[in-house]
Chain A
């Protein structure tokens, strides 16, 4: 059990590529923290610095209160699961799991016990004698987890461990991972570019972009109150609609709809964020802002329909709405959509930062 802390960590590659920029972040003891962001955002580099596979250019990394910048990977008491599993092809599953223990000088009996333990936990008993080449993707993934678990490390590092699996297996292993963490409560840092994975797995998620930390919080916090335009656009599927708003005489207008008072905003044009599920079809006589919405594409999902369209008269502004399945909208139909004023998110048009009024 340990806490992992980044203290003002910067990593620069080849003199000018800033992969991680002044990262200040703490993963609490026993927490499942997900680093999420698009590719190239520095999340993997951050993870590799915790593993000791990369050295920070500046700043310090602490594991369990100890600065580990100069500590080699083997002495950090961490275990890592790689995206491509990195199972040793010339060893059996059993040898793969035992290898780290052997290298750390565990007695043979202890090693055998731990192999049994993880093989029971991950249902690997029938695979122990096989080579990685003889395993399916999901089995390899479990062996890679087993190799990490057997070490009883202070910290688990997982680098996109599910991204090579098909969607069904991914969903199943996601649940397995979560169950495993609830059982073991080992501090875990999980890197992914998939925001669904981040939302479902993370106790807290840290959203990164261009080497910088954008927001840290529980999935619900990040979803409900995105700190800036990047987080707003990244978290959520389908993503939040971001529309150009206008403040005229202290009143906020967006997409032709009058939203309400924006006293205290000033005169700069805000960006208005609206989750697809915040939009609904206006019933007769209902009050509130109204948007004229032209339907382009309808995606029925059974319990709801995802409707892609645009605002009437503003052809270049795509909008997505999640509506009740019984609405049955048709392409080229014009719907009157409404929303509650408190469901909008306001962002500064220039800095992109969230501003509440």
Chain B
């Protein structure tokens, strides 16, 4: 027993944007501003290219666009069934995010709190799979998917990513930091093990769940290699795969590609901003001091 009152682990106290105050530049800005520039440049370049004419886009060093050429967007939308790509990507990403949140929580909780034979060995084995690069398991995964009759369907993109070792690891580590007395109190109060997970543990795991959701979302939204292997028909292509059709063997239509990229990035930005707000909220509600 500790003699500390219960404390929920939390990130450093975050004040909302309204409370943020302007401060005088600190020496840190000498480092932070160049780093931020490095991060922003490709992004700005992408947005710029997407509104340039093809001639301007070929120019190096880049020049400012002569005007906003929205037609790049309409042409990109017309050149490929973007709506379809969007829909496919959204389905794959949505289902894998949901699958990871539920399945990694269940598995992580079992590893964190249950005592069963071979638990630690099994956990190490699962961790070890993190060290295997995807390229190594790509062909076996393909064979399994083909055996299941899922090749060239969205199922082939969803099933292998439905639960990830990293997600299990992340959730287990977080669950272990929660005070076990809460779960014991819940068991005495009448919760089953599963009830304890869903009513007590998960509501307190907002930061970990948000992190897992963002990581899963980014990975699946941006995944290119596996869809390239698993999907052949245009009807089942994801956004990243669809964008690659702008890269021909001899020429690349940069303006259309970048217009497509901007459209592909937007949902990710949105997801990140939403999750960020969720981060702050869950931290605020879990804020407890002894």
Contact = CB atoms under 8 A, between A and B. Distances in A.
Tell which of B2, B4, B179, B184 has the most Cβ of chain A within 10 Å: B184
Tell which of B4, B195, B200, B288 has the most Cβ of chain A within 10 Å: B288
B189 A99 contact: yes
Nearest to A151: B189
For the complex of A and B, the 10 pairs showing the least CB-CB separation, nearest first, are A103-B190, A100-B189, A86-B181, A74-B190, A86-B185, A133-B288, A84-B6, A90-B203, A73-B188, A82-B181
Given A53-B184, A84-B2, A159-B1, A103 B286 contact: no
B287 A74 contact: no
Interface string A149-164: 0010000000110011
Contacts of B188: 51-53, 73-74, 78-80, 100
Interface string A210-247: 00000000000000000000000000000000000000
A44 B1 contact: yes
Contacts of B6: 84-87, 89
Chain A, interface size category, equals: 20 to 34
A86 B1 contact: no
A104 interface: yes
10 contacts: A79-B188, A80-B184, A86-B184, A86-B185, A88-B200, A90-B285, A90-B286, A100-B189, A132-B288, A163-B3
A140 B2 CA distance: 17
Interface string A63-86: 000000000111000111011111
A137 interface: yes
Interface of B: 1-6, 8, 179, 181-182, 184-191, 195, 200, 203-204, 285-290
Contact of B5 (A73, A80, A137): A137
A104 B5 contact: no
Contacts of B285: 89-90, 131
A16 B186 CA distance: 30
Tell which of A90, A133, A151 has the most Cβ of chain B within 10 Å: A90
Interface in A89-111: 89-90, 99-100, 103-104
A74 B189 contact: yes
Contact of B195 (A53, A80, A103): A103
Contacts of B289: 133
Given A85-B5, A131-B285, 19 more contacts: A51-B184, A52-B188, A73-B187, A80-B184, A82-B181, A83-B181, A84-B2, A84-B4, A84-B5, A86-B6, A86-B181, A87-B6, A88-B185, A103-B191, A104-B189, A137-B5, A147-B185, A159-B1, A160-B1
Contacts of A132: 288
A62 B20 CA distance: 59
A132 B285 CA distance: 10
A94 to B, nearest CB: 14
A257 to B, nearest CB: 43
Tell which of B186, B285, B289 has the most Cβ of chain A within 10 Å: B186
Contacts of A44: 1
Contacts of B3: 83, 163-164
A131 B1 CA distance: 24
B182 A86 contact: yes
A72 B193 CA distance: 11
A100 B1 contact: no
A159 B4 CA distance: 14
B184 to A, nearest CB: 5
A83 B182 contact: no
Given A79-B188, A133-B288, A88 B5 contact: no
Nearest to A90: B203
Contacts of B286: 89-90
A7 to B, nearest CB: 22
Contacts of B190: 74, 100, 103-104
Contacts of A53: 184, 187-188
Contacts of B185: 80, 82, 86, 88, 147
Contacts of B200: 88
Given A90-B285, A133-B288, A163-B3, A84 B179 contact: yes
Contacts of B203: 90
Contacts of A103: 189-191, 195
Given A133-B287, A133-B289, A86 B204 contact: no
Interface in A154-185: 159-160, 163-164
Given A80-B185, A160-B1, A163-B3, A86 B191 contact: no
A87 B189 CA distance: 12
